[in-house]
Amino acid sequence: MGLLSLSEHFTYSKLCRFTFPSIVMMIFTSIYGVVDGIFVSNFVGKTPFAAVNLIMPFIMVFGAIGFMIGSGGSALVSKTLGEGDQDRANRLFSMLVYLSIALGVVLSVVAIALMEPIAVLLGAEGEMVGYCVTYGRLLMTALTPFILQYVFQSFFITAERPTLGLLVTVAAGVTNIALDAVFVAGLRWGLEGAAAATVISQFVGGVIPLIYFLLPNNCTLKLTRAGFDGPAVWKTCTNGSSELMTNVSISLVNMLYNFQLIRFAGEDGVAAYGVIMYVNFIFIGVFQGYAIGSAPIVGYHFGARNQDELKSLFSKSLVLLGWAAVVLTALAEGLAGLLAGIFVSYDPELMAMTCRGFRIYSTAFLMMGFNIFASAFFTALNDGLVSAFLSFLRTLVFQIAAVLILPVFLDLDGVWWSIAAAEGLALVVSGICFWKFREKYHYL
């Protein structure tokens, strides 16, 4: 089977083939994060594991820059390709990569300086503060390649090289898993070993693509000399504001979840939520991978004014996401005990709490895929305002309201039900937006 180009008519088969590497890439990214958690939980201890989960939302706030530039930039670049301007597409791509490097350097310094006060602010006490600071500061030394890794994940798809993007992600993941086994399980370096393994893997994931796009090849996109383009940066940020909003909101909401869980269940609650988040990322990876993989196709045909293909892509995507929602929810419910046991089988009480929480949490998978796709779809249409509006409501407003209100009536179960309640409300808003803007963008 040959390479698929963005300009093709996409049948169900072609759509699955084109987005499959992105789906696997996101799942694999989640899996090596999960393995990191497994090593910390089983070889370092429950308190360091809880500390990692407490500080990680803060770290992801900075990493969200990569999601914004990658998704927003790829929407702009794919639209430019659809308009037939290859040279400008390369200049935009290059400028955004260089901007990512500069931001990574500056933000890493800021994050390292703020790590300890943030850990205390998030509720860390005693020895947990030290674990948070050690792990967080080590990870921030690799913030620049971390940002680049997410930027290139989107641009590999726009460059019609999704399989190469997958291979880079697999290489980074295998590096992390192998080094976790050596540093944490073998050499017993503890939390520092887990952080070192992650840092090295992020250099693999961020630097290899940089070298690839710098070297001569027949890829659609190339790194060239490029000046600063303020309007393009603004368009990228507005296009990708939903992805930035999603990731920043998730981090803020996770901090609030941890605060509520400390109130209702103490350190065990934070550890249980950490397990749920690790496993949850694998399932969400399917939806995120499809959204990332299909967005450049939508952006290209929007730029080329191919309305028939937009309608086809939209309807086929809803069908595929519907099937995925049912299958993933069934898998999550059936495998809850097994997945929880991988992390915390050494503590029966924590195991029971984690298993119950995940079974309740996983009902959200029935709705989540449509909401993730809705935001990515409007980003691909270069409508960052609608995309950001959807993300703002889904990942911040609805979740904060749910996690503050439901525990009042349902105690700990209210925390677990919060995500499903938020996704249900978001699905209603996504449906309204799809209907409201159908005539403007002609996808229905």
Most confident among 44-58, 78-92, 319-333 (mean pLDDT):
319-333
Mean pLDDT of the region 270-299: 85
Instruction: Give the pLDDT confidence of 392-402 residue by residue, as tens digits.
Output: 898 889 989 99
Examine the pLDDT at 436 and tell me if it is beyond 80: yes
Indicate the pLDDT class of residue 432, thresholds 50, 70 and 90: very high
Three-state secondary structure string covering the chain = CCCCCCCCCCCHHHHHHHHHHHHHHHHHHHHHHHHHHHHHHHHHCHHHHHHHHHHHHHHHHHHHHHHHHHHHHHHHHHHHHHCCCHHHHHHHHHHHHHHHHHHHHHHHHHHHHHHHHHHHHCCCCCHHHHHHHHHHHHHHCCHHHHHHHHHHHHHHHHCCCHHHHHHHHHHHHHHHHHHHHHHHHHCCCHHHHHHHHHHHHHHHHHHHHHHHHHCCCCCCCCCCCCCCCHHHHHHHHHHCHHHHHHHHHHHHHHHHHHHHHHHHHHHHHHHHHHHHHHHHHHHHHHHHHHHHHHHHHHHHHHHCCCHHHHHHHHHHHHHHHHHHHHHHHHHHHHHHHHHHHHHHCCCHHHHHHHHHHHHHHHHHHHHHHHHHHHHHHHHHCCCHHHHHHHHHHHHHHHHHHHHHHHHHHHCHHHHHHHHHHHHHHHHHHHHHHHHHCHHHHCCC
pLDDT at 211: 93
pLDDT above 80 (res 254): no
pLDDT by residue (tens digit) across 221-250?
889 988 888 999 898 888 777 667 667 777
pLDDT tens string 322-372: 999 999 999 999 988 888 888 777 788 888 888 998 999 999 999 999 999
- Taking residues 418-436, report their average pLDDT: 95
Q: The pTM is what? A: 0.72
Mean predicted confidence (pLDDT) in 279-284: 84
